[in-house]
C-alpha cells in the first residue's frame, strides 16, 4: 500500500488478544507504534467489542488503525497441544492475523501469544522458506557502543541438529544485515568455552559446519 506521495505503508496484523494484559497492552502498543512510525498501519485482530473499548481511551489517526474481528482466543495455558489448539480454534485472533498475511492483506503478523501455537500456525499457514529445515525465534539484545546481539534460536526448538544451527547462523546473518544495517555481522556459537574443541557432540559438529559456511563471518565459540 502506498500514500499519495508514493510512500510505502506497511500493514501490520497484530494479534490483539495475545500476551499478558491483552487487549489493554496490545492496543496501547499499537497506538504508540503508529505515533512513532508514520509508515505503518496496524490491523488489530481480536474481539471487536473489547478492542473498541480500549481504543476509546486514546486519540489517534483513525486512518492508520483497523479492526478485524476474531471470535476466539488461543490461551497461554491451553489444555491441548499447540496443533490441536490451532486446528480447533480456526477463528482465533492468531489464526486470523496470520491469514491476513497469507492473503496479502497484511505485510507481517505480530503476536505475543502462545509461542507453540504461533510457531505451529505460522508453519501451517505461511510455510517455511524453501530449504529452511526449522524455524527459529530471534531475540535482539542491546550491546556496548550502540550495537546489538542477535540470538537464535531463543525457544522454538527443544532439540537441534548441527545443520539447524548452521542454518540459524545464516538466517541471523541476513537479519542483522537487513534489519540492523550491519554490513558484515560476526557470527559466534554459544558454547561452554571458547576453544575449538569445547562442547558436546552437537556443538562440536555445528562448529565445523559454521567454520566451513561461506556465507558468514564465523568468529568461533
Taking only the tens place, the pLDDT of each residue in 130-153 is 999 999 999 999 999 999 999 999
- Whether 4 shows a pLDDT value over 60: the answer reads no
The pLDDT value recorded for residue 197 is 87
Q: What is the domain partition of the chain in residue ranges? A: 10-126, 139-220
Q: What is the pLDDT of residue 7?
A: 75
Res. 2: pLDDT tops 80: no
Mean pLDDT over 19-32 rounds to: 97
Q: Phi first, then psi: give them for residue 178, nearest 5 degrees.
A: -80, -45
CB 15 within 8 A of CB 110: yes
- Contact yes or no for 54/24 (Cβ under 8 A): yes
Q: Which long-range contacts (CB under 8 A, 24 or more apart) does 137-143 make?
A: 138/171, 138/172, 138/175, 140/180
Residue 55 has pLDDT above 70, yes or no: yes
Q: Which listed CATH number (3.20.20.60, 3.40.50.300, 3.40.718.10, 3.30.1340.10) goes with 10-126? A: 3.40.718.10
| pLDDT number for residue 8 | 87
Question: Average pLDDT in the 48-70 region?
Answer: 98
Among the listed ranges 4-18, 96-110, 169-183, 200-214, which one has the minimum average pLDDT value? 4-18
175 vs 5, more confident: 175
- Which grid cell is 27? 492496543
| pLDDT digit string, tens, across residues 100-140 | 999 999 999 999 999 999 999 999 999 999 999 999 999 99
Amino acid at each position: 500500500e502506498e500514500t499519495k506521495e508514493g510512500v510505502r505503508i506497511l500493514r501490520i496484523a497484530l494479534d490483539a488478544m495475545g500476551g499478558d494484559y491483552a487487549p489493554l497492552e496490545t492496543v496501547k502498543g499499537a497506538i504508540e507504534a503508529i505515533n512513532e512510525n508514520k509508515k505503518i498501519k496496524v490491523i488489530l485482530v481480536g474481539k471487536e467489542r473489547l478492542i473498541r473499548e480500549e481504543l476509546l481511551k486514546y486519540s489517534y489517526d483513525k486512518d492508520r488503525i483497523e479492526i478485524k474481528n476474531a471470535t476466539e482466543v488461543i490461551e497461554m495455558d491451553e489444555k491441548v497441544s499447540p496443533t490441536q489448539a490451532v486446528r480447533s480454534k480456526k477463528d482465533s485472533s492468531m489464526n486470523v492475523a496470520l491469514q491476513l498475511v497469507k492473503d496479502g492483506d497484511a505485510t507481517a503478523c505480530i503476536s505475543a501469544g502462545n509461542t507453540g501455537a504461533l510457531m505451529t500456525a505460522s508453519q501451517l499457514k505461511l510455510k517455511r522458506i524453501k530449504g529452511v529445515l526449522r524455524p527459529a525465534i530471534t531475540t535482539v539484545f542491546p550491546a556496548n557502543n550502540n550495537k546489538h546481539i542477535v540470538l537464535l534460536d531463543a525457544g522454538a526448538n527443544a532439540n537441534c541438529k548441527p545443520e539447524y544451527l548452521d542454518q540459524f547462523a545464516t538466517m541471523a546473518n541476513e537479519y542483522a544485515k537487513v534489519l540492523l544495517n550491519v554490513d558484515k555481522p560476526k557470527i559466534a556459537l554459544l558454547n561452554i568455552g571458547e576453544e575449538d574443541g569445547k562442547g558436546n557432540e552437537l556443538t562440536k559438529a555445528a562448529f565445523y559446519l559454521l567454520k566451513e559456511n561461506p556465507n558468514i563471518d564465523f568468529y568461533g565459540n
